[in-house]
Structure 1
Amino acid sequence: MSRRAVITGVGAVVPGGVGREAFWQLLSEGRTATRRISLFDPAPFRSQVAAEVDFDPVAAGLGAQQIRRMDRAAQFAVVSAREAVEDSGIDLAALPPERITVSIGSAVGCTMGLEEEYVVLSDRGRKWLVDHEYGVPHLYGYMVPSTLAAEVAWEVGAEGPVALVSTGCTSGLDSIAHAAQLIEEGSADVALAGATDAPLSPITSACFDAIKATTPNNSDPEHASRPFDRDRDGFVLAEGSAVLVLEEREAAEARGARIYGEIVGFAGRSNGYHMTGLKPDGREMAEAIRVSLDQARLDPTAVGYINAHGSGTKQNDRHETAAFKRSLGSHAYDIPVSSIKSMVGHSLGAIGSIEVAACALALQRQVVPPTANLHNSDPQCDLDYVPRTARDHAMDVILSVGSGFGGFQTAMLLARPGTAAAAAGRGGS
């Protein structure tokens, strides 16, 4: 029997609550975690709202040296990984360390640490030639994004393949896909896979202000993120992390692990079109969905819920609506769809893993999270976009998709354990 990758542990550090259960409670209640930015003075910027994590590294169990050494994004990842391992019940110390792999995604790396250090080294921008002697000893670590994955590997004692996946806003999906492939091919038996980003800094706000991608709705932060709504006006920046424990299915079953779901298909495509633009027909995303279904040996009618990218821009929302219709045919109209970015914002590279964590919990609990703030549907987004209130819904297969700057498109399928969909298995790639 072919090797399969299953999810046995979930850890999350997200806006609205640190920890898996706080995250699910936010989603199931349809609450939003968006507010006026408090991490810096946002007054000079067009968009002044974000979804911030109320995070205390000491309360989260990090030591003084870890806090000094690690950027906020790394802190998120390590805390998420700890929770995922505890949730899985796996004894990593009993496993050969070379059979444990780490795959972490991030779009912008250690943004906060780098900006803070530049401010000091340049004397708040007054000096063009910076003096490196004012930098912290760990500045090099901020410059090299792979340190995010290394910190998780050190935390769990992993000596197998360790990688940092950076594919923009699909990083969180692609990092999990990479880890699943390593398990399937036999390079690892256990993986810590997920993503982290802590991009809430002046430089990030300035960049997204320049292209007017983020919402200017500063007077009503709670309702600023409105995917698929007729009155949406851009996405809400966010931060956060989610890390999953993936295991080879037979080994997980042998130890009696609780399995959230099996990764039965995934694929990525690029539109080769524009750095930030999307073609309205959604062809590349549709192709990624089609290939993932082929891998899983599933018909489109097997899909019971779609976790949309749903960033809250007209271009994206209409693009993926077209992709769902193109890849799933008439069944697209029968599938509930929602975007959790309406509640936790868009944490760039981290959001894909946060969304897969949400899908694992939704599959286990048979509940579809809602799209908060969806009051007036865009007529061009005419599928069953679940508005405002969570919906009890029987489902065996969940499709999660991501879309990123640079033209990246990723699709992933999760199947509930013990179902015909899970038994179908992955076909050739």
Structure 2
Amino acid sequence: MTARHRRAVITGVGAVAPGGIGRDAYWDLLTAGRTATRRISLFDPAGFRSQVAAECDFDPLAAGLTPQEARRMDRAGQFVVVAAREAVADSGVELPGADPERVAVSIGSAVGCTTGLEEEYAVLSDGGRDWLVDHRYGVPHLYGYMVPSTLAVEVARQAGAEGPVALISTGCTSGLDAIGHGVQLIEEGTADIVLAGATDAPLSPITSACFDAIKATTANNDDPAHASRPFDGRRDGFVLGEGSAVMVIEELESARRRGATVYAEILGFAGRSNAFHMTGLKPDGREMAEAVRVALDRARLDPGDIDYINAHGSGTKQNDRHETAAFKRSLGQRAHEVPVSSIKSMIGHSLGAIGSLEIAACALALRHQVVPPTANLSTPDPECDLDYVPVTAREHRMDRVLSVGSGFGGFQTAMVLGRPAAAHGEAA
């Protein structure tokens, strides 16, 4: 079988998300249109401009980690290991029986072990009072917190993966890009099984201070449940979140031979950069549109073949208008006909992790034929004039879906997924 005929499919999904630990709880939250945003409880947010976030109600021991694992891993590491375990169990793949050199790991993260690093700095510096820190007070695993690749290594250790192991860090597109890298490993023949996804646990004082400084996050502290308002004319910034999603990605024929249930096939993937500004976006959406165009070309699809768009939809005016323009530019009239929604309205923006959570949502949407809504959308921005599926989930016939991501640094990523039979016009 030549590399170009190798097809990558999702056979397992695991999730740790705000408002729901586990794949089923996550999907229930999305389809119910519930928001998981609230006043920050992980630290005292008093004094910060934005005091709300979408937190995970996560207990590492209740989630199946041992006390030793919980002590060793940063919160982001705990998330991704739990999500990976669920994905493997969901897929039914027997990793002990697989060739370990044909099992790979591709994990994305924008900010690595931020929580552990900040906590340890506070201890070592005596609350920031000491310029010269005393290393003797650091935990033995501090070096692991400083090296983001530790997150991918933890998943590889759990899976017994001896193939390629990578940590992809491209800001807010990290989750999409890590899955795209995993797909490439399948297609080129380097691996037969890939655990791909992303994780971030950025809810910490340093992260809040950074986004406060540029006024990117919402100041709607009095009404946390309605603070995340993508495409709404009253929005005033995004809501920070946290979480992880991991997919088991396999070569299609191998998955069929073992009788695996396939959620979706990943048909096309492309990334572009605007080479423009660290946080700014050009209003015409040209770079995102180009990523969408190339992803469709690689999938051998036309704009009319897309049945749903999972938007980046961060809830900033700049981003929402930028990607609305990108959809019109890349899809033409189809942009006005296809439903578009942003799940960040419910689970916030978990930076590098969000792309993986969005791909998990797309896979589940294809499975259940339901489009998650854009919660809190009641006063549409006139410049965002597409069908954003306000408030309520919608049953909808879907064969192929598009998911996009946009990140600081100018990163723009697009990925196309399809129902396993419909992807190539096969009989369902």
Q: State the TM-score, normalizing by the size of structure 1.
A: 0.98
The one-character-per-residue Cα deviations of 1:344-366 (angstroms, maximum 9, x if unpaired) are 00000000000000000000100
SS in 2 for 1:386: coil
| Residue 136 of structure 2 corresponds to residue 147 of structure 1 | no
- AA matched with 1:346: H
Segments of structure 2 that go 5 or more residues without pairing to the other structure are: none
The aligned counterpart of 1:297 is: 300
The aligned counterpart of 2:114 is: 111
- AA matched with 2:297: D
The aligned counterpart of 1:407 is: 410
Q: State the TM-score, normalizing by the size of structure 2.
A: 0.98
Q: Is the Cα–Cα contact under 8 Å of residues 267 and 423 in structure 2 kept in the other structure?
A: no
The aligned counterpart of 1:24 is: 27
What is the CA-CA distance between 1:258 and the residue it aligns to? Answer: 0.4
Equivalent-residue separation in structure 1 for 2:426 and 2:240 (angstroms): 39
Which residue among 277, 282, 293 is the counterpart of 2:280?
Answer: 277
The aligned counterpart of 1:335 is: 338
Q: Is the Cα–Cα contact under 8 Å of residues 171 and 352 in structure 1 kept in the other structure?
A: yes
Q: Is the Cα–Cα contact under 8 Å of residues 415 and 422 in structure 1 kept in the other structure?
A: no
What does residue range 178-257 of structure 1 map to in structure 2 within 5 Å? 178-257=181-260
The one-character-per-residue Cα deviations of 1:307-364 (angstroms, maximum 9, x if unpaired) are 0000000000000000000000111100000000000000000000000000000001
- AA matched with 2:38: R
Equivalent-residue separation in structure 2 for 1:172 and 1:60 (angstroms): 22
Q: Is the Cα–Cα contact under 8 Å of residues 397 and 421 in structure 1 kept in the other structure?
A: no
SS in 1 for 2:309: strand
224 and 217 in structure 1: CA distance in 2 versus 1, 3 angstrom threshold: same
The aligned counterpart of 2:421 is: 418
| Residue 347 of structure 2 corresponds to residue 344 of structure 1 | yes
What is the CA-CA distance between 1:421 and the residue it aligns to? Answer: 3.9
SS in 2 for 1:411: strand
The aligned counterpart of 1:34 is: 37
Which residue among 62, 65, 73 is the counterpart of 1:62?
Answer: 65
The aligned counterpart of 1:99 is: 102
What is the CA-CA distance between 1:419 and the residue it aligns to? Answer: 1.1
The aligned counterpart of 1:427 is: none
What is the CA-CA distance between 1:380 and the residue it aligns to? Answer: 0.5
What is the CA-CA distance between 1:205 and the residue it aligns to? Answer: 0.2
Q: Is the Cα–Cα contact under 8 Å of residues 264 and 422 in structure 1 kept in the other structure?
A: no
Equivalent-residue separation in structure 2 for 1:15 and 1:115 (angstroms): 21
Which residue among 385, 393, 397 is the counterpart of 2:388?
Answer: 385
The aligned counterpart of 2:49 is: 46
The aligned counterpart of 1:176 is: 179
SS in 1 for 2:198: strand
Equivalent-residue separation in structure 2 for 1:69 and 1:418 (angstroms): 43
For the aligned residue pairs, the C-alpha RMSD in angstroms reads: 0.9
- AA matched with 1:365: H
| Residue 343 of structure 2 corresponds to residue 316 of structure 1 | no
Segments of structure 1 that go 5 or more residues without pairing to the other structure are: 425-429
SS in 1 for 2:403: strand
SS in 2 for 1:384: coil
Equivalent-residue separation in structure 1 for 2:364 and 2:261 (angstroms): 12
319 and 421 in structure 1: CA distance in 2 versus 1, 3 angstrom threshold: farther
SS in 1 for 2:332: helix
SS in 2 for 1:7: strand
Equivalent-residue separation in structure 2 for 1:419 and 1:124 (angstroms): 57
What is the CA-CA distance between 1:420 and the residue it aligns to? Answer: 4.9
- AA matched with 2:283: P
Q: Is the Cα–Cα contact under 8 Å of residues 16 and 83 in structure 2 kept in the other structure?
A: yes
Which residue among 13, 16, 30 is the counterpart of 1:13?
Answer: 16
- AA matched with 1:302: D
SS in 2 for 1:385: coil
SS in 2 for 1:242: strand
The one-character-per-residue Cα deviations of 1:75-126 (angstroms, maximum 9, x if unpaired) are 0000000000000011111111010000000000000000000000001011
